[in-house]
């Protein structure tokens, strides 16, 4: 057993019980995973959406998702879906919340264990450009703070993409969670390339939080955290004084 402290020595009696156990004695729900693959581009929060080509909710836009397999861990299922639908591997991926309202899927009872993943925009752009059923949609958050209510998805042409099932609510919870975690977890770095300027990091934080931050204290706070270290290099091809490039360094906690 991978969980827990002690490996229970099972008695003969317990082994007999387990051998006789019939899991099909009562009906079971379906269990799926959905993954919100999040990035920040042009200082805006974005998510990968896929247009459904099957009933139900055909034509609507959904998060990458799929049913879990019986011998598959939840995070493994999420990683599988992410690789299959977005061609993305080795990214920050974490369980978010489990959505299980009885009527959330018209087919049958489907409980979905929602996950969220973070990836730099450059990584995501490779490979999601050509397909017309994939969009890197802007997330429009119609609330302030951490209320976690449903959000909307808008494509590059300012067209709203209608979301399938309860995915607007799932995405609202994603934004809520990211805003809550940003303060104490080193999330910003997951959304940036290896080397980045402090202004870029601040823009990522602002995109996630949905509000402007004070430049001076942001700078001081990040530098004091010991989470970044200067590389000595400077950004290039900017029309102003180039900023120093920093990189993330594992430390603290």
> Mask: binding to a second copy, 190-229, rule CB under 8 A, as x and -?
----------------------------------------
Task: Show the tokens assigned to 63.
Answer: 């998060």
Describe the strand order of the beta sheet including 244-248 as a list of residue ranges. 195-196, 244-248, 228-234
Binder of residue 4, out of DNA, a second copy, none (CB less than 5 to 8 A by kind): a second copy
CB of 18 or CB of 224, closer to a second copy:
18
Q: Does the footprint of DNA cover residue 125 (CB under 7 A)?
A: no
Dump the DSSP string for 169-202: HHHHHHHHHHHHHHTTS--GGGGS-SEE-HHHHH
Binder of residue 25, out of DNA, a second copy, none (CB less than 5 to 8 A by kind): none
Sign of the Cα pseudo-torsion (147, 148, 149, 154, in order): positive
Write b or e for each residue in 72-104: b if 16 or more Cβ atoms lie within 10 A of its Cβ, otherwise e: eeeeebbbbbbeebbebeebebeebbebeeeeb
When binding is defined by CB under 8 A, the residue of 41, 123, 150, 223 that contacts a second copy is 150
Q: Which stretch binds DNA (CB under 7 A): 45-53, 56-64, 130-138, 238-246?
A: 238-246
Binder of residue 108, out of DNA, a second copy, none (CB less than 5 to 8 A by kind): a second copy
Give the integer Cα–Cα distance in Å for 37 and 65: 11
Q: Binding to DNA (CB under 7 A): which residues in 193-232? A: 197-199, 213-221, 224
Cα–Cα distance list, 230 to 220, 239, 246 (Å): 14, 21, 4
CB of 60 or CB of 199, closer to a second copy:
60
CB of 98 or CB of 231, closer to DNA:
231
CB of 84 or CB of 215, closer to DNA:
215
Number of H helices, E strands in the chain: 6, 11
Binder of residue 5, out of DNA, a second copy, none (CB less than 5 to 8 A by kind): a second copy
Do 179 and 96 form a contact (C-beta atoms < 8 A)? no
Which residues contribute to the site for DNA (CB under 7 A)? Answer: 197-199, 213-221, 224, 234, 236-244
């Amino acid at each position: 057993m991978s969980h827990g402290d002690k490996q229970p020595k099972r008695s003969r009696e317990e082994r007999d019980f387990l051998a006789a156990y019939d899991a099909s004695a009562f009906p079971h729900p379906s269990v799926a995973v959905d993954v919100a693959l999040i990035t920040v581009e042009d200082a805006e929060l974005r998510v990968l959406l896929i247009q459904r080509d099957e009933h139900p909710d055909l034509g609507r836009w959904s998060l990458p998702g799929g049913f879990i397999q019986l011998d598959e861990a939840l995070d493994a299922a999420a990683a599988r879906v992410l690789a299959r639908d977005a061609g993305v591997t080795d990214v920050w991926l974490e369980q978010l919340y489990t959505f299980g309202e009885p009527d959330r899927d018209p087919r049958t009872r489907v409980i979905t264990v929602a996950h969220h993943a973070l990836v730099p925009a450059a990584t995501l752009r490779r490979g999601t450009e050509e397909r017309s059923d994939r969009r890197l949609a802007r997330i429009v958050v119609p609330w302030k703070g951490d209320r976690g209510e449903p959000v909307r998805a808008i494509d590059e042409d300012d067209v709203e993409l209608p979301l399938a099932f309860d995915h607007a609510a799932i995405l609202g919870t994603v934004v809520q969670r990211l805003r809550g975690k940003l303060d104490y977890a080193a999330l910003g770095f997951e959304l940036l390339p290896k080397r980045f300027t402090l202004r870029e990091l601040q823009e990522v934080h602002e995109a996630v939080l949905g509000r402007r931050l004070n430049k001076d204290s942001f700078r001081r706070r990040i530098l004091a955290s010991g989470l970044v270290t200067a590389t000595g290099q400077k950004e290039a091809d900017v029309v102003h004084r180039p900023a120093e490039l920093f990189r993330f360094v594992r430390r603290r906690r």
